[in-house]
Amino acid sequence: MGNPDFKKQLLEWRHYLHKYPETAFEEKKTSAYIALELKKMGLQVHENIGGTGIVASLTVGDGKGVIGLRADMDALNLNEIKELSYRSQHPGKMHACGHDGHMTTLLGAAKLLSTRKNFNGTVRFIFQPAEEIGKGAQAMLDDKLFERFPVDEIYGLHNMPGLPVGTVHTRSGPIMASEDNFVIRIKGKGAHSSSPNMGVDPLVIAAEIILALQTIVARNLDPIHTAVVSCTEIHSDGIRNAIPSNVEIKGDTRSFIPEVQKLLEERMRKLSEGICTMYGAECEFEYTHEFSPTINWEKCSKIAIEAANNIVGKENTNSDCPPLMASEDFGKFTEKIPGCFVFLGSKGENEEIIPLHNALYDYNDNVLETGAEFFAEIVKIRLPE
């Protein structure tokens, strides 16, 4: 590492992508920009995969192995407030999760591999739309991603501003949780606030449901497993002096294995319906699976750890990091093929931690080259000359 021209190119890419953020399935200019840069490198580029996604292929030699490297492309609906020379030019949109850095890292890996050609086989550079809403990976799969562009293994990364800069963290098995969304609609009977006996109060019922849902993790889930049930919104059609007829509770759950997802859904449904019945109200329960858990395959985790050791050193590689309850739709890919996801630390020494999804967040340019070299090293290991 240390090529000044390469670093300059990485900065140019990242700052352009940061300046012109686009949200889920709207990444048309982003996609066009990336496709053009990949074509300049001589890669075979296919656009509009799963909407705005890109798959670029690079083959060297006659090797049969195929490695996939993935980056997400979408921004968030946030208004950037940090003063930067490359500040977002799209009001109400910004790269507050670092996907601008992820795209740049993958472009950098493509540049390194297309220049060095130090492998024997094929690399697919997969630029995925709509990760933030959990729909982009599935959209690419629905567009026959792996049938059209076969891949043996896939690797991805996410920057982590809470972890030391230039460190790599991963683990075999679950590394990020599923996200399931729920809506509980309670239909009671409205009444004047002075005469609650004339109605069926859905707010009181909602309060009991919200508290009851917290018993699932505490009393129904095997203690060796982990889950989160969060009620995050409550809406009614009432006014100050009227008991409402309808209340809606929204929220999400997080877990790591299908058995726990099933338990959460079944117990939440029974509790909600049972409490409503007890009070004489009607209940409508809706539960949807938005993000699959991200499960790292053991053989791929070993490769990622070896690559990290080679690039950042064993002392900067955590091979058994704790899993996160946050979600990433990379998990849709590892349901289909072997893969591994890693976290790339980006917190500089003595720097304040600005968390992801914060209007002040900006990707740490100092880890762009590290990420690109890490991806390139995986390919070198898996597709030896």
In what helix (H) or strand (E) does residue 247 lie, and over which residues does it extend? strand 246-255
| 357 has binding-site annotation | yes
Residue 346 phi/psi, 5° resolution?
-140, 15
45: Cβ–Cβ under 8 A, 6 or more apart, which residues?
35, 38, 39, 54, 55, 56
Known binder of ligand: residue 97?
A: yes
Give the residue among 97, 106, 107 at the shortest CA–CA distance from 36: 107
- Start-end of H helices in the chain: 4-19, 28-40, 99-116, 136-142, 145-148, 202-219, 258-279, 298-312, 331-334, 368-382
Residue 98 has phi, psi (to 5 degrees) of: 90, 15
3-class state of residue 167 by DSSP: coil
| CB atoms inside a 10 Å sphere around CB 242 | 15
Written as one letter, the residue type at 302 is: K
To the question of whether residue 18 is assigned a binding role by annotation, the answer is no
Q: Give 133's contacts (C-beta < 8 A, 6+ positions apart).
A: 24, 74, 290
Question: Hey, which residues does 148 pair with through a beta bridge?
Answer: none
Structure tokens at 10: 């990485």
Tell me phi and psi for residue 351, to 5 degrees: -90, 145
The answer to whether 313 touches 117, Cβ cutoff 8 Å, is no
The Cα 99–Cα 329 span in angstroms is 13
Max Cα–Cα distance, the chain, nearest Å = 81
For tokens 């049969």, name the residue: 64
Would the annotation count 235 as a binding residue?
no
Flag whether 192 is marked binding. Answer: no
Report the distance separating Cα 348 and Cα 216, nearest Å.
40
Q: Binding site: which residues? A: 97, 99, 132, 158, 357
Binding residues for Mn(2+), as ranges, are: 97, 99, 132, 158, 357
